[in-house]
Every structure is written in C-alpha cells, then in structure tokens.
Amino acid sequence: MTPKYSKGPDGRKVSSDGFKTASFSSWPRPGCVAVKITNGAVQVRDTKDADDSTLNFTTDEWSAFIQGVKAGEFEL
C-alpha cells in the first residue's frame, strides 16, 4: 500500500510509515530517496515506488556513507 504524505516540522515530506524525503527533494521528482532512521537501523527507498524494495543499513554504515558524501568521495 502506497503511504500518504504530510509535511513534517522541518518542512520535509513525511510518509505515514515514517519515511522522510531527502532535503533536496521536490515532490514528485525522479531520483529522490526517502529515509527512515530508527534505533540501530536506517532504511532507504525510492520515492517513485514506495512499495518496492527498501535498503537496510546499520547506523554505523549510514554514518560512514554520509561522511563519505560530505568528503566528496563519490563522483556524480
């Protein structure tokens, strides 16, 4: 079932199941992701198909990824 969205306190779209859209998202926009952070886990999914697969990461894996992005380790 496709979740419904509302605006969170920070202005980002928040789905009924707790996923927030990326800060650079402009709904709907191709290539955006939604993220849900819980105790010890981070889930990521494509905003175009919320019913499709969700990627799961530990908080340590997610932190390492974010640090790598901020450090410019990935080519776009």
2-58: per-residue pLDDT in tens?
Answer: 566 566 555 556 566 777 876 666 555 566 788 888 888 999 988 777 777 889 999
Asked whether residue 75 is assigned to any structural domain, the reply reads no
Asked whether residue 39 is assigned to any structural domain, the reply reads yes
Asked whether residue 52 is assigned to any structural domain, the reply reads yes
pTM: 0.68
Asked whether residue 40 is assigned to any structural domain, the reply reads yes
Q: How many domains does the chain have?
A: 1
Cis peptide before 28 (omega within 30 of 0): yes
For residue 1, pLDDT over 60 is answered with: no
What is the domain extent for residue 65?
5-70
Q: What is the distance between the alpha carbons of residues 15 and 62, in angstroms, rounded to a whole number? A: 20
Q: Which residues pair with 43 in a beta bridge?
A: 36, 56
